[in-house]
């Protein structure tokens, strides 16, 4: 027994010796050598949000393609990613590893509002770029002055909500809106945007606003949808995450509510989720209105676009296991394209501050002939001064016969 | 264990704890801080599971109670984080006692199933009262930094705080389990009927063990919140409760020293060994180590291998090696006795 304890202690000492690591070599800029740039990020490859897992390998695929084309200013990108299981505690530990042990130059594409919020202060304390986080939470763009080392990328939820408001003012000025929204930061971002887009004049078009609590589950969604039907609304607006959104579609059909229009936020209104709702008996998925800003691999009308051809080549060569028809892969490639562009813009003498400066002053558009090839024609990526919403233009799309068809021109959810 | 040698072992542990940060990078030190935190939680769970024989699949939630207590006191009431730790332990301990009193009506697998409700309802409650807990979005704590005028790297600081608490709580646990109270716990584990016949209130003992173990987990949770600087429902998933139980089993249920192995496992399997093993697996033909949930497969395989090789956990394995090495008498080979420490 006594020896047991001694041995255990000896083992601890031994393991402490094993985990000992050599002192890191310090160079002018961490993560940058004459030939390489180290970028890292956390993604939910397992756990509740593992549906987003394809984003990381498709980013890696694009970086491999960029390296094959010569890299960035003579340097090859070394992109590493780990599974945080959507658990912020794991995100924190991995992020400490990236910064303190791997000495990554920058963190790119990190996924999830809560996991990325958990490491935001730390990365800003350490002055390590936290670029293009994979979440639409408005705070990552809006609060740029508090967190100068952090930047989002995709259209933020609030802006998207505003776009629905503007669309309604213009095209459905007499519609009676019944709004179902998830009672958390995410749902509230959307709702705030919708109200802003409607303007005070049209705010009265909302005849009923029903929150639901994600925890309570399907019962909460059902109660809310029943109230919306009773309110006499003819347009169903859904601001929820995928699971409750699918439930809302099914419940509406079950209780015999057939609203003339359905507007659903883009996170939940994807081909995959709407197909599930249809298969489970919803008859109101057809005609769903949402937004998009990227080329859509599931819609054949984009097959001739140069960006789509390039995307399919990259997927075939560098991520053959990935499903190229899944829009999440295109999202990853589009984001990686943007990372490469800001690295280029940051110049040969690469520093973290230089990278942030490049990211804070982006102008990639058709006009300047350097638009992101994977976005819809005309979508620009723009940041300058106090305007830090990289992608803010979207187009409305309507779900018809299992494909999203674009409606008209681009709309901007933000001033620019 | 003879006290003198137990103290010697403890002294060696102290030496290891003192030496480790000076030979480790800041990141490894940060990881070792988590080992200290998990050690506190495992010592607590071991008192309930290893010594009293009551299986709990819910102690991650008591860590959560402690973590939220610390967070709310620091963020909303301006407390210094260190002073919140005893409160974090007490709140979790009371929660554990409150659950323990009715739960002692269950035995064996029925109790395990009942405890499964703890993390489920805990997550539900967090989301139900968003103004208090921050709901799904969680709450942010201030950045970690050294205090009391000590100038240290934040990882080194949390390492010292965690290990000072861990070592103190290890001594407390040792004092608790070696005497009369420890015997009462073990008698409940080994035979409730015999324990009752000897005048021990089995229900009372179980409820108290529940409370003590939850206190330890709450304390660990408070430190966990300080280290992670963020809490939300996803930070305390059901997996955490299961992982804690796995840590106790792998370390060697019933053995205090074995919990060190358990804590090393809990920390390193998730962050370091798991991904490294996945890398190895991904080199095997036709294996997609990137597939969702593959990390869980790795934990499962490791757990099975360890349980085949060492059914009594790491402490049991060490005992077997020691017994085999020190005993040449063929009849005195490592009997599968249950550890008494």
Strand partners, A248: none
- What's the pLDDT tens digit per position in B36-81? 999 999 999 999 988 888 889 999 999 999 999 999 999 999 898 8
Question: In terms of CA atoms, which chain B residue is nearest residue A217?
Answer: B124
Cα–Cα dist B38/A311, whole Å: 45
Question: In terms of CA atoms, which chain B residue is nearest residue A22?
Answer: B25
Q: Which domains does chain B have, with CATH numbers?
A: 24-332 (1.10.3470)
- Which runs of consecutive H residues, i.e. helices, occur in B24-58? 26-46
Q: Does B204 touch chain A (CB under 8 A)?
A: no
Q: What is the pLDDT of residue B332?
A: 46
CB neighbours of B91 closer than 8 A, spacing ≥ 6? B65, B66, B69, B218
Residue A23 has pLDDT above 70, yes or no: no
Instruction: State whether B339 and A1 contact (CB < 8 Å).
Output: yes
Q: Which domains does chain A have, with CATH numbers?
A: 28-155+293-385 (3.40.50.2300), 157-292 (3.40.50.2300)
DSSP one-letter code for B153: -
Look at B100 and A28; give whichever has higher pLDDT. B100
Chain B contact probe: residue of A46, A57, A89, A332 with most B CBs at under 10 A: A89
Q: What is the pLDDT of residue A66?
A: 96
Token representation of residue B43:
């010592």
Chain B positions in Cβ-Cβ contact with residue A15 (cut-off 8 Å): 264
Token representation of residue A403:
């494909």
Cα–Cα dist B281/B283, whole Å: 5
Cα–Cα dist A415/B274, whole Å: 46
Q: What is the pLDDT of residue B307?
A: 77
Cα–Cα dist A284/A277, whole Å: 9
Residue A7 has pLDDT above 80, yes or no: no
Q: What is the pLDDT of residue B108?
A: 75
- What's the pLDDT tens digit per position in B300-310? 787 788 778 77
Look at B298 and A282; give whichever has higher pLDDT. A282
Q: How confident is the model at residue A6 (pLDDT cuts 50, 70, 90)?
A: low
A185 → closest Cβ in B23, B27, B137: B137
pLDDT (mean) for B19-40: 92
The pTM assigned to this predicted structure is 0.87
CB A278 within 8 A of CB A400: no
Token representation of residue A83:
């599974």
% of chain A beyond a pLDDT of 70: 92
Cα–Cα dist B225/B235, whole Å: 10
Residue A37 has pLDDT above 80, yes or no: yes
Helix A157-171 × helix A185-202 angle, to 10° = 30
Nearest chain B CA: its distance from A220 CA (Å): 12
Chain B positions in Cβ-Cβ contact with residue A97 (cut-off 8 Å): 27, 271
Q: How confident is the model at residue B285 (pLDDT cuts 50, 70, 90)?
A: low
- What's the pLDDT tens digit per position in A65-119? 999 999 999 999 999 999 888 899 999 999 999 999 999 999 999 999 999 999 9
Nearest chain B CA: its distance from A190 CA (Å): 15
CB A324 within 8 A of CB A315: yes
pLDDT (mean) for A126-135: 95
CB B48 within 8 A of CB B54: yes
Please report which helix (H) or strand (E) contains residue A262, including its range: strand A261-264
Give the residue from A45, A57, A40, A51 showing the smallest Cα distance to A329. Answer: A57
Instruction: State whether A5 and B1 contact (CB < 8 Å).
Output: yes
CB neighbours of A7 closer than 8 A, spacing ≥ 6? B318, B321, B322
Residue B147 has pLDDT above 90, yes or no: no
Distances A361 to A22, A151, A205, A365 between C-alpha atoms, Å: 38, 12, 39, 13
- What's the pLDDT tens digit per position in B232-281? 998 998 889 988 998 998 888 888 888 998 999 889 887 788 777 777 77
Q: What is the pLDDT of residue B328?
A: 56
Q: Phi-psi bin for A326: left (phi > 0), alpha (psi -120 to 50), beta?
A: beta
- What's the pLDDT tens digit per position in B101-140? 888 788 778 888 888 889 888 988 888 887 888 888 889 9
Q: What is the pLDDT of residue B221?
A: 97
Chain B positions in Cβ-Cβ contact with residue A2 (cut-off 8 Å): 1-2, 5-6, 8-9
* CA atoms within a 13 Å half-sphere pointing along the CA-CB vector of B153: 16
């Amino acid at each position: 027994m006594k020896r047991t304890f001694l041995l255990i202690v000896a083992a601890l000492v031994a393991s402490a010796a094993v985990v000992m690591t050599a002192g890191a070599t310090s160079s002018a800029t961490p993560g940058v050598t004459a030939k390489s740039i180290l970028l890292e990020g956390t993604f939910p490859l397992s756990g509740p949000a593992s549906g987003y897992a394809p984003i990381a390998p498709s980013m890696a695929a694009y970086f491999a393609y960029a390296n094959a084309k010569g890299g960035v200013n003579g340097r090859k990108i070394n992109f590493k990613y780990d599974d945080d299981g959507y658990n912020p505690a794991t995100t924190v530990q991995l992020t400490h590893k990236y910064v303190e042990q791997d000495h990554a130059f920058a963190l790119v594409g990190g996924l999830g509002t809560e996991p990325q919020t958990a490491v935001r202060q730390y990365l800003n304390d350490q002055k390590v770029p936290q670029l293009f986080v994979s979440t639409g939470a408005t705070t990552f763009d809006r609060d740029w002055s508090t967190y100068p080392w952090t930047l989002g990328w995709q259209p933020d939820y609030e802006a998207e909500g505003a776009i629905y408001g503007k669309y309604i003012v213009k095209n459905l000025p007499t519609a009676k809106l019944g709004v179902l929204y998830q009672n958390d930061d995410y749902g509230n971002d959307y709702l705030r945007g919708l109200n802003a887009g409607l303007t005070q004049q049209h705010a009265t078009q909302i005849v009923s606003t029903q929150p639901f609590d994600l925890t309570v589950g399907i019962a909460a969604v059902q109660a809310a949808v029943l109230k919306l039907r009773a309110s006499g609304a003819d347009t169903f607006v859904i601001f929820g995450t995928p699971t409750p959104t699918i439930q809302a579609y099914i419940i509406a059909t079950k209780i015999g509510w057939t609203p003339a229009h359905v507007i659903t936020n883009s996170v939940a209104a994807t081909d995959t989720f709407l197909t599930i709702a249809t298969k489970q008996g919803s008859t109101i998925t057809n005609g769903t209105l949402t937004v998009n800003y990227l080329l859509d691999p599931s819609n054949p009308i984009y097959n001739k676009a140069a960006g789509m051809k390039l995307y399919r080549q990259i997927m075939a060569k560098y991520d053959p296991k990935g499903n190229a028809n899944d829009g999440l892969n295109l999202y990853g490639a589009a984001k990686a394209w943007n990372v490469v562009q800001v690295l280029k813009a940051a110049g040969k003498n690469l520093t973290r501050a230089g990278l942030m400066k490049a990211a804070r002053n982006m102008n990639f558009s058709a006009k300047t002939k350097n638009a992101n090839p994977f976005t819809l024609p005309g979508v620009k990526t723009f940041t300058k001064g106090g305007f830090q919403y990289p992608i803010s233009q979207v187009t409305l799309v309507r779900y018809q016969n299992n494909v999203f068809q674009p409606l008209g021109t681009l709309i901007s959810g933000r001033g620019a | 264990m003879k006290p003198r040698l137990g103290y010697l072992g403890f002294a060696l542990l102290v030496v290891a704890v003192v030496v480790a940060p000076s030979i480790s990078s800041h990141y490894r030190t940060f990881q070792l801080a988590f080992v200290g935190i998990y050690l506190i939680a495992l010592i607590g769970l071991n008192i309930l599971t290893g010594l009293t024989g009551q299986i709990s699949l819910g102690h991650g939630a008591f860590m959560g109670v402690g973590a939220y207590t610390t967070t709310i006191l620091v963020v909303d009431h301006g407390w210094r984080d260190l002073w919140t730790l005893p409160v974090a332990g007490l709140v979790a301990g009371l929660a554990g006692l409150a659950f323990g009193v009715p739960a002692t009506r269950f035995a064996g697998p029925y109790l395990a199933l009942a405890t499964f409700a703890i993390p489920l309802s805990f997550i539900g409650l967090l989301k139900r009262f968003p103004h208090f807990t921050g709901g799904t979005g969680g709450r942010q704590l201030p950045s970690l930094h050294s205090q009391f005028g000590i100038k240290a790297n934040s990882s080194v600081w949390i390492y010292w705080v965690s290990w000072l608490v861990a070592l103190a709580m290890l001594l407390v646990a040792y004092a608790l389990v070696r005497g009369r109270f420890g015997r009462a716990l073990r008698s409940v584990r080994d035979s409730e009927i015999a324990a009752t016949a000897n005048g021990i209130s089995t229900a009372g003992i179980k409820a108290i063990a529940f409370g003590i173990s939850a206190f330890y987990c709450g304390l660990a949770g408070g430190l966990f919140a300080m280290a992670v600087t963020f809490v939300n429902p996803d930070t305390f998933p059901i997996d955490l409760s299961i992982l804690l139980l796995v840590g106790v089993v792998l370390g060697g249920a019933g053995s205090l020293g074995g919990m060190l192995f358990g804590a090393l496992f809990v920390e390193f399997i998730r962050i370091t060994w798991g991904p490294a093993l996945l890398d190895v697996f991904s080199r095997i033909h036709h294996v997609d180590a990137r597939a969702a949930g593959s990390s869980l497969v790795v934990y499962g395989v490791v757990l099975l291998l360890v349980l085949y090789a060492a059914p009594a956990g790491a402490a049991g394995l060490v005992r077997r090696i020691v017994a085999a090495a020190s005993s040449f008498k063929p009849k005195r080979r490592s009997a599968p006795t249950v550890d008494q420490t």
